[in-house]
Amino acid sequence: MRKSILAMLLAGMSANAPAADERKELPSCPGAYDHATWTNCTGDVTLPSGHTYTGEFRDGRYSGQGTFTTPDGQIYVGEYKDGKPSGRGTHRFRGGEKYVGEFSEGRYNGHGAFTFPDGRKYVGEYKDGKPNGQGIEYRPNGTVQRTGVWENGVFNGR
C-alpha cells in the first residue's frame, strides 16, 4: 500500500514539474523581426527603426523582463507590460543620465532616483516622467542640497 501511495505522489509531482517550468521559461521566438505576432516566447528582435529588444513576449507585445536599446544608445532594462515599461527598471540616457525606479505606461511613475552625469541626484516621487511629490536633491559629493516638494518637475520647498 505504501509503495502505491508513494508512486502516486511521485507521479503527481513529476506531472506538475513541467507546468512549473513552463511558467518560468518561455520558448525561443522564431527568427528575425518580420512583423510577426509572437506570443509567449523569448527572443532578440531588431525593429526596422534600428531599435533592439531582448526579452519576453506575451500576447504579441513586450511583456515581462527585457532590454530595449535605441539606435542613439539609450537603454532600458526592466519590466514591460503591453509593450511599455511598467514596473521596476533602469533607463540609461545617451548623455550619461540614469533613472532607476518605477515605471507605469512607459513613464517614470512612483519612487525612483535620477542621477545626472555630473553626479547630482534626485531621489523621490515621480509622476508622468517628472519629479512630483516629496524628494531630496543631492550634490555631486553626496551631501543634501535641498529637501521638499516638487510639482510638475519644479522645486517648491526649502
Which pLDDT tens digit goes with each residue over 2-30?
A: 444 334 333 443 343 444 344 467 888 76
Rounded to two decimals, the pTM is 0.75
Which pLDDT tens digit goes with each residue over 73-97?
A: 999 999 999 889 999 999 999 999 9
Q: What is the DSSP annotation of 11-50? A: HHHHHHHHHHHHHH-PPBPPSS-SS----SEEEEEE-TTS
Domain segments of the chain: what residues? 2-155
Distances (CA, A) of 103 to 22, 49, 71, 79, 91: 27, 23, 21, 8, 10
- CATH of the domain spanning 2-155, picked from 3.30.1490.20, 3.30.70.1560, 2.20.110.10, 3.40.50.300: 2.20.110.10
The SS3 assignment for 155 reads: strand
Q: Which helix or strand (DSSP H or E) is residue 5 part of?
A: helix 2-24
Which pLDDT tens digit goes with each residue over 101-148?
A: 999 999 999 999 999 999 999 999 999 889 999 999 999 999 999 999
